[in-house]
Structure 1
Amino acid sequence: MLFFKRIFGCEEKCPPNLKEASEDILKKCGGLPLAINAISSLLASHKESREEWERVRHSIGISQGKASEIDAMTYILSLSYFDLPLYLRSCLLYLTMFPEDHLINPQRLVCRWISEGFIHAENAEDLVELGETYLYELINRSLIQPVDIGRFDEKATWCQVHDTILDFLTYKSTEEKFCTVLTGPSKPVNRVRRLSLVGNEDAQSIEQLDLSHARSLGAFGSSREYLPSLARLNALRILDINGCRGLGNQHVKDIGRLLQLRHLDISLTGITELPKEIGDLEYLEIMDASSCPRLVELPESVSRLKRLASLLVSGKTRLPDKIGNMTKLQRLGYINPFMQSLDFLEGLGELANLRNLSIFWDTDNESDKASYKKQKLVSSLCKLERYKLHDLYVSFNLTEKDAIFIDHSLFPALKSIREISFGSGQLCWITKWMVSLVNLQILNVVGGELEQQDIELVGSIPNLLKLLFTHDVRGPIIIGGGFQRLQELEFDPCATTLMFKEGAMPNLKCLNHHIRPLDFKSAHGDAGFNIGMQHLWSLAQVHVRVYCAGVRVADLEAAEGAFKSMANAHPNRP
């Protein structure tokens, strides 16, 4: 079933002239699901060619002299590997830079591929988009596993590599001297090209390595306190120490000597200051310091980085005034514009290539100049929208003064606004404005006061696809009309009852619901309860989190049983 579903959709659709080859190939897979997945993914791209099927069938037959399941698996993976185009082989081998069972951020992986030069665009193609197509081709071939697929964009939040595949890739990587992984004391290695530090290696082992040709350095482990001297890494293109909280300013003091550096990731480290020599890195294209809240300011020299395409910082970081000099910037986040200077806000509007921008709207610490900065910010955002700005994310912490500014059309309904997070204030202050946002897809309400009428207005947002309520709501919430395109709903105000009427949310695929059994019992009585799940015609998944503090086992079991009954009674059997 696994084999035929992957290639043809079902066994009945397999052409008669491929039946015999199919049966033989399946026998040689020995019932191993990973082997079947790999070989079917390989054959799926050749399902019209009997000659290719016979070649694969014969090749596996030759390997059977080794007989063992491990040898058969290795041989099948080898067939899948050598079937890849050369550019995909390099991308796949690069996964050996990450530890076993590590959840890999797809964006982080694609950015590292780009900095390594693995992705070659033609006709001014977007490198990130092209890199994503490479990633999903490897996923479709069952060589990378997607983790946590988005409900409405169908993209993986994370990805990882099966242990058996990683073992095979590690063998190939060692054979081709592609990557050196240190997990403990090791022998000296000549000409390290890529170095991954994943745990227990000692300083002496690292010092013995010849790092003069190393192109990538990746390090893992929050307790890590040692890195090789950057002065030894003059050919380095990628420095990724994301998550190494034990590393601090002293570890990057020589960063200005990495003149070939393309990619720098210091997020989730103990770094609080970068040397001014960072402005000498003329080839730097990607810099991620997004989770470094103690990095309060970037050196003014950063504005000399003319090739920088992606700059991510904490909302507590002040950026250089001359941001307008960085004309190659395509992605900028997560900035609080009210912490920046007026010169910065004016220069922001000069970034003609900016496609993705994330801002925190929080004026608490800037009451004197906030009104001027709002006007400058809006002026620059309008300019950016006339250029290439495509995705604008705004996180709001509002005061009444902010609400007046936004709701009186002083903040325009920009087409680039795709996602909003609401942290404090009252949602009713800006719901009328949000209804005019034609491209708003994601709304995350994490604070403020909410009532039934606010949710009804939110239902009028024309293209909303994902809605998260993670704050207490006043009174029961009844959803009838509106929300015509919504595909995912998370409802966390567990002290509030939620009801769906007929015709509610016709395209909802995923419901995440948080409850307290006692509150449901008081709302629905001992006769059980029904939230109207049967009215959600497109429902495919239901996730229910039950808060059990102070709850009797009988009430917990009743709540669990009620949701299971509703799911079983639903025509879609979500």
Structure 2
Amino acid sequence: MEGNGIMVSAATGAMNSLLAKLAALLEEDYQMHKGMKREIAFLKDELSSMNALLERLADTEAALDPQTKEWRSQVREMSYDIEDCIDEYTRQLRHGQPQRPGGNGIMGFFHGYVQKVKDLVGRHEIAEQIQELKARIVEAGHRRKRYKLDSAVNCKSNHVVPIDRRLPALFAELDALVGIDRPRDEIIKLLDDGEQRMKVVSIVGSGGLGKTTLANQVYQKIGEQFDCKAFVSLSQHPDMEMIFQTILYQVNDEVGRIRSGDKEQVISELRAFLKNKRRIFGSEDKCPHQLKDIAVEIVRKCGGLPLAIISMASLLTTKSYVRAEWFKVRDSIGSGIEKNSDVEEMNMILSLSYYDLPHHLRTCLLYLSMFPEDYVVNRDYLVRRWVAEGFIKANGGRTFEEEGECYFNELINRSMIQPVHTLYDGRVYSCKVHDMILDLIISKATEENFVTIVTDRKQMLVSKDKVHRLSFDNYGQEDVTLYSMVTTHVRSLNIFRYSEQMPPLSNFPALRMLDLDGNNNLESSYLEDIGKLFQLRYLRIRASNISLPDQIGELQFLVILDLLNCIGISKLPASIGKLRHLKCLVVHRVELPDGVGNLQDLEYMSLVVVDYSTSVSSLQELGSLTKLRTLGLDWRIGDFHKEKLTYADNFVSSLGKLGRSNLQYLTLISPWSLDFLLDSWSPPPHLLQRLGITGWYLSRIPVWMASLADLTFLDIEVKVRQETLQILGNFPALQFLELYSNAADYGDRWLTVSNGGFRCLQKFKFVHWMNLMFEEGAMPMLETLEFQIIAHEARAESGFGPPDLGICHLSALRNLIVNIYCECARVEDVEALEAAIWIAVSMLPNHPTPTLHRFREAEMAKYDA
């Protein structure tokens, strides 16, 4: 990523990225012709001015006239073209730097001469392209002046209305109004045609015609017919708190005054008062019988999106009670950008939320149009793509990834994307886009030429402009190909379900992003030209049988390499060490590569394997990755390996260096003992936040672990004793704990979580051949609990009937899973234990519904796995 600002956006195209590259060209010491340097300076100055106007246009996007939109679109397209040209020019400059080509002698001279000729021809072609692009910039500048765009934007942005000019209309007396009776009575007739159902009537016209006055007179005339009514006037920038307060006072004159700032209380009062007053039929029991099933379907397709439900309800009030019309409305939801009047109306309503987004969030939301309908998008995966695309701006000392998560959360909070899965700490880690929102953003992305989509439903949605981001879903298609599409300008390519009809990668020379998703039929031969993708920054492959070519080392700008689902790859090519700008390496049980120390920009690496074939030097180099924040490692050096001590010592040394640098998240997996970490490693107390040590249990909790003051997540296999819970219970920030051990302890079979233990813990999973009890005051913030009980020991503990496990003391509990081991227990004892759990849960404030599983010896191995 170049710079700290947003490099690419839907509002300004590639302009920011282009300006950064032009500035770099002028600063770097290239052997550039003076005339070319002047041309580059001219491009930079002119484009800087145009970029400033593009950013101002983005502030008034909803109100732009067609002429301004066309100029903006042409300038954005031009930014992409110029950046492609500058990228190729930069590549040629770098390639032409002094070096020793082809060896010595006649052949070396010959190869050097041929290369020089090629460079001269290439630079001549680039020079001609730049002249053509310069002419386009000059013409765009002339049009800007002819259209007077700057003054038009200034008028839009500086237009301030000091007061709401409709205010006097709210208090106009009837006898002071001339000619009001006839239009007022016409509107009343439209509203009440004898069908006894509510209607919406719009009064439209230019400012000053008396629309507000007329509406107020209609309200005064027929308002007494309604037991719940309100009249409010909304300015262009309304104070929503005052609007809600005004409505509440008008519909319920008995409500007391709510102090300023209590928006939530006002809304709650309104919701309570208006409940069952109206949706579509006045109340649910008045819904016509023939429409109930289809109404339920429509609500389900609205997916809980408040704006969608309200908008759909408003739309349905205009429909008759004929089932065919309602079926038509239902089928229109999720129909994409097909021309449909109901969909267009819905998009206009939802556009209010879209235009309320800041520019950077609009870009990130539009990008989600690349994914198929109902596709569940992982948060980290999405954020990595945003980062690689240049959509994220670093802010307040946060990393790009941390800032991207803030963008993601804001889209969740605004209900523009829907949460699917949530982590232990309440953070959403996957989402999907509601059908209605997807329709909207597909429409907007196509209109802006931001994304081009080819699916089995839309066949070919090829815009009239050049294609920059292409999403191709081959599901259910046999013959649809992209050969008719010009692909030379495509920067982002998503291929869902690979087809043999896809054009080769050599057809995409401008590619920055390549995502081959869910392509089990993808063959390694498709990647043979990947080394030619000079600008590639992001590569993700999901395929079961594929190998990575050695040409991967040619991708000098690659930042993210995601091979998580490539189960056939166990070793990376030797050339991986050439990727000096690589920040994120997402793999699954791939051997720690030789030359890993060359990857000095690496911040994320998981999950790599250290086994007999791993060189000791690679383990030593691991410690030099001082920017590494996340590491996942599978340790496969057995206890009887002759060089185990050498491997262990180098590993501990590297972990120590990483721990003193930036390491925050560490996962260690091993089928062998990791007890060599107990006393030999001591990470700094204020860096590590997440720690996992699994696969083989530790004999005890390491002393150094108690000093991890910022540790929030711990997944550990350890021999559990009462003192183990005491140590873990004192961790000051621990929110998630998964505690597992298959080590049998034949002493005391009961463990107690003491009063005051685990003050911050929210989720606890305990898998052990021992039983748990909870004292009053233990785990005061615990929301999710999963543990097991050995039924016959539970009865023996109490002597008579089931024991009191203390579940009733877990006052914050919302989710409970209890696995009951039934071997050697009588049925009545198991049933009594389950009844006791239900009784304890019923006493909790949140009244969680427990999930109870019974299992026996034969099922235990599966449960352990």
Task: Give the TM-score category using the shorter length.
Answer: 0.7 to 0.9
Q: Structure 2: where are the runs of 5+ without partners?
A: 1-239, 252-266, 282-298, 321-328, 330-341, 849-865
Q: Deviations over 1:280-330 (max 9, x none)?
A: 111111111234343222222222212111112223323132x22222222
Pairs within 5 Å for 1:426-465: 426-445=697-716, 449-465=719-735
Q: Return closer, same or farther for 1:371/1:182 CA change in 2, 3 Å cut-off.
A: same
Contact kept in structure 2, 1:101 and 1:161, CA below 8 Å: yes
Match of 1:16 in 2: 246
CA–CA distance in structure 1, aligned partners of residues 688 and 306 of structure 2: 40
CA–CA distance in structure 2, aligned partners of residues 212 and 542 of structure 1: 53
CA–CA distance in structure 2, aligned partners of residues 210 and 366 of structure 1: 60
Match of 2:598 in 1: 325
Shift of 1:364: 2.1
The answer to whether structure 1 residue 486 and structure 2 residue 761 are counterparts is yes
Match of 2:533 in 1: 258
Match of 1:467 in 2: 737
Shift of 1:39: 8.5
Q: Deviations over 1:360-402 (max 9, x none)?
A: 3332299233322332233333333343x141313242645x4
CA–CA distance in structure 1, aligned partners of residues 790 and 476 of structure 2: 44
Contact kept in structure 2, 1:29 and 1:36, CA below 8 Å: no
Contact kept in structure 1, 2:494 and 2:516, CA below 8 Å: yes
Match of 1:167 in 2: 439
Shift of 1:569: 0.6
* Letter of the structure 2 residue corresponding to residue 172 of structure 1: K
Match of 1:184 in 2: 456
Match of 1:393 in 2: 666
Shift of 1:139: 0.9
Contact kept in structure 2, 1:425 and 1:449, CA below 8 Å: no
CA–CA distance in structure 1, aligned partners of residues 604 and 641 of structure 2: 28
* Letter of the structure 2 residue corresponding to residue 37 of structure 1: P
Shift of 1:93: 1.3
Q: State the SS of the aligned residue for 2:590.
A: coil
Shift of 1:345: 2.5
Match of 1:209 in 2: 485
Match of 1:417 in 2: 688
**Stretch moving more, 202-211 or 511-520:** 511-520
Contact kept in structure 1, 2:699 and 2:718, CA below 8 Å: no
* Letter of the structure 1 residue corresponding to residue 688 of structure 2: I
CA–CA distance in structure 2, aligned partners of residues 378 and 70 of structure 1: 61
Q: Deviations over 1:80-99 (max 9, x none)?
A: 11222222112111112222
Instruction: State the number of aligned residues.
Output: 536
Q: Deviations over 1:122-152 (max 9, x none)?
A: 6775211111111111111111112232232
Match of 2:509 in 1: 234
The answer to whether structure 1 residue 193 and structure 2 residue 468 are counterparts is yes
Shift of 1:240: 1.6
Q: State the SS of the aligned residue for 2:581.
A: coil
Q: State the SS of the aligned residue for 2:689.
A: strand
CA–CA distance in structure 1, aligned partners of residues 788 and 434 of structure 2: 32
* Letter of the structure 1 residue corresponding to residue 533 of structure 2: L
Contact kept in structure 2, 1:413 and 1:433, CA below 8 Å: yes
Match of 1:131 in 2: 404
Shift of 1:427: 2.9
Shift of 1:226: 6.7
CA–CA distance in structure 2, aligned partners of residues 381 and 79 of structure 1: 51
Instruction: Let me know the Cα RMSD of the aligned residues.
Output: 4.1
The answer to whether structure 1 residue 499 and structure 2 residue 773 are counterparts is yes
The answer to whether structure 1 residue 533 and structure 2 residue 807 are counterparts is yes
1:569 counterpart (843, 847, 851): 843
Match of 2:859 in 1: none
Q: Return closer, same or farther for 1:363/1:356 CA change in 2, 3 Å cut-off.
A: same
CA–CA distance in structure 2, aligned partners of residues 123 and 90 of structure 1: 21
Match of 1:37 in 2: 306
* Letter of the structure 2 residue corresponding to residue 318 of structure 1: L
Match of 1:48 in 2: none
CA–CA distance in structure 2, aligned partners of residues 360 and 421 of structure 1: 11
Q: State the SS of the aligned residue for 1:316.
A: strand
Contact kept in structure 1, 2:513 and 2:539, CA below 8 Å: yes
CA–CA distance in structure 1, aligned partners of residues 643 and 577 of structure 2: 24
Q: State the SS of the aligned residue for 1:75.
A: helix
Q: Return closer, same or farther for 1:396/1:113 CA change in 2, 3 Å cut-off.
A: closer
Q: Return closer, same or farther for 1:162/1:30 CA change in 2, 3 Å cut-off.
A: farther
Match of 1:103 in 2: 376
Higher helix share: 2
CA–CA distance in structure 2, aligned partners of residues 366 and 262 of structure 1: 43
Of structures 1 and 2, the larger Rg is shown by 2
Q: Return closer, same or farther for 1:384/1:564 CA change in 2, 3 Å cut-off.
A: same
Q: Deviations over 1:13-47 (max 9, x none)?
A: 953378679989x9998697779734999xxxxxx
**Stretch moving more, 30-39 or 250-259:** 30-39
Q: Return closer, same or farther for 1:438/1:226 CA change in 2, 3 Å cut-off.
A: farther
Match of 2:862 in 1: none
Contact kept in structure 1, 2:395 and 2:403, CA below 8 Å: no
Pairs within 5 Å for 1:145-160: 145-152=418-425, 154-160=426-432
* Letter of the structure 1 residue corresponding to residue 706 of structure 2: V
Contact kept in structure 2, 1:180 and 1:193, CA below 8 Å: yes
Contact kept in structure 1, 2:718 and 2:740, CA below 8 Å: no
Q: State the SS of the aligned residue for 1:417.
A: coil
Q: Return closer, same or farther for 1:61/1:506 CA change in 2, 3 Å cut-off.
A: closer
1:274 counterpart (543, 548, 551): 548
The answer to whether structure 1 residue 119 and structure 2 residue 389 are counterparts is no
Shift of 1:102: 1.8
Q: State the SS of the aligned residue for 2:658.
A: helix
CA–CA distance in structure 2, aligned partners of residues 532 and 257 of structure 1: 65
* Letter of the structure 2 residue corresponding to residue 369 of structure 1: E
**Stretch moving more, 235-244 or 108-117:** 235-244
Q: Structure 1: where are the runs of 5+ without partners?
A: 1-9, 42-56
CA–CA distance in structure 2, aligned partners of residues 385 and 573 of structure 1: 43
Contact kept in structure 1, 2:544 and 2:565, CA below 8 Å: no
CA–CA distance in structure 1, aligned partners of residues 708 and 772 of structure 2: 26
Shift of 1:203: 5.2
TM-score (norm 2): 0.55
Contact kept in structure 2, 1:39 and 1:80, CA below 8 Å: no
Contact kept in structure 1, 2:305 and 2:415, CA below 8 Å: no
CA–CA distance in structure 2, aligned partners of residues 467 and 333 of structure 1: 21
Contact kept in structure 2, 1:240 and 1:264, CA below 8 Å: yes
* Letter of the structure 2 residue corresponding to residue 566 of structure 1: A
Match of 1:301 in 2: 575
Contact kept in structure 1, 2:801 and 2:832, CA below 8 Å: no
Pairs within 5 Å for 1:18-97: 37-38=306-307, 73-97=346-370
Q: Return closer, same or farther for 1:432/1:381 CA change in 2, 3 Å cut-off.
A: closer
CA–CA distance in structure 2, aligned partners of residues 19 and 333 of structure 1: 58
CA–CA distance in structure 1, aligned partners of residues 742 and 248 of structure 2: 59
